[in-house]
Amino acid sequence: ARAEQLGLKRCEPYTDLDVLLKQENVDLVSVCTPNNYHVEQGIAVAQASKHLVMEKPIALDIEGARALEKAVVQAGIKNVVCFVLHWYPRFLNQMALVKSGAIGQVFLADCAYLHGHLERYTSQWRWIWKKSMGGSTLMQGGIHAVDVMRQFMTAPATEVTAYGHMHTAEYEGDPTAMYEYPPTVTGIVKFADGAVARLVSSFETTMPYQLNLRLYGTKGSIQDAHVWSEVLSPKQNGWAEFPAIGADSGDPSHIPFGPMIDHIVDCILNDRPAFPDISDALKSHEIAFAADISAEEGRPVRLPL
């Protein structure tokens, strides 16, 4: 029905993944099913020697994430994880500034994924409330904040301490509209070089969707689109602004799925590694898994898990 709606004349629907993976004219598979299917289906794609686009999260636990990574590496396929922030213009600006040394060494980061009340969305979203399918607030959405923060840190994470919170009650008297996990988690991440970061993921905020990224370095700071740099502008007396579309635009048409697909297709055609791939994403997921464990058990969690 969707293919007909979009006028896709060469779009063959399949209801069996194994049948799909046997098609010789299929080179690249995008896994964008509910979270708890990602490991099994991703491994099947790898074993069929198809290139892979994996929606986040790559897994709901560290064992699944490592099993998926092993399958992908053994298969030698090109793969990319849908951390779409990597293709937003604002992120590209921020990364260029940090790589140029504009703010020096980043020693403090603050990243927050703030999404208002997913329980108020249509029934198609209800699977994410279940721990067995959605996993956690970090797995469902906050992993974007973990990933984007981690890209600016120079050393591996060594410890995570986190806390969870739930104030969301049943929605409009519907007892099934309840999260099986705390929809708000906040935590502190320590890194091997002494740097620290604060992470927030929440589905309870009463506000439009927003993803904040703030980086504090030895020679300057970045607060979303605002920059203070002793290197670029030693006589600066106010924040400089670098306007660019970011993840908090709220406009679905701004989500850069197109550039992400262009990237992995280019990597396939020219035999280059895609990024961020499963192996890199595993590092972000390990931090998120540790935060979930810490929030649930009330203790710091050392890394690696």
User: Which whole number is the average pLDDT over 189-197?
Assistant: 98
Sign of CA dihedral 103, 105, 107, 112: positive
Q: Out of 5-9, 56-60, 105-109, pick the least confident.
A: 5-9
In percent, how much of the chain has pLDDT > 70?
Answer: 93
**Predicted confidence (pLDDT) per residue in 216-229, tens digit:** 999 999 999 999 99
- Average model confidence (pLDDT) across the chain: 93
User: Which whole number is the average pLDDT over 4-21?
Assistant: 92
pLDDT band at 170 (very low <50, low <70, confident <90, very high): low
User: Which whole number is the average pLDDT over 251-261?
Assistant: 89
User: Which whole number is the average pLDDT over 72-94?
Assistant: 97
pLDDT computed for residue 177 by the predictor: 65
pLDDT computed for residue 173 by the predictor: 62
Q: What is the DSSP string of the chain?
A: -HHHHHT-TT----S-HHHHHT-TT--EEEE-S-GGGHHHHHHHHHHTT-EEEEPSPS-SSHHHHHHHHHHHHHHT--EEE--GGGGSHHHHHHHHHHHTTTT-SEEEEEEEEE-B-GGGS-GGGGGGGSTTTT--HIIIIIHHHHHHHHTT-SS-EEEEEEEEE-----BTTBTT---SS-SEEEEEEEETTS-EEEEEEESB-SS--EEEEEEEETTEEEETTEEEETTT-TT--S-EE-----GGG--GGGS-HHHHHHHHHHHHHHT---SS-HHHHHHHHHHHHHHHHHHHHTS-EES--
pLDDT computed for residue 253 by the predictor: 80
Q: Out of 6-20, 79-93, 218-232, 243-257, pick the least confident.
A: 243-257
pLDDT computed for residue 122 by the predictor: 59
pLDDT computed for residue 45 by the predictor: 98
pLDDT computed for residue 2 by the predictor: 86
Its pTM stands at 0.94
**Unique residue bearing structure tokens 């020096």:** 104
User: Which whole number is the average pLDDT over 24-51?
Assistant: 97
Q: Out of 77-81, 95-99, 139-143, 177-181, pick the least confident.
A: 177-181
User: Which whole number is the average pLDDT over 86-103?
Assistant: 97
Q: Is the pLDDT of residue 140 over 80?
A: yes
Q: Out of 13-22, 190-199, 245-254, pick the least confident.
A: 245-254
pLDDT computed for residue 244 by the predictor: 94
pLDDT computed for residue 118 by the predictor: 63
Q: Is the pLDDT of residue 292 over 70?
A: yes
pLDDT computed for residue 119 by the predictor: 60
Give the integer Cα–Cα distance in Å for 237 and 209: 31
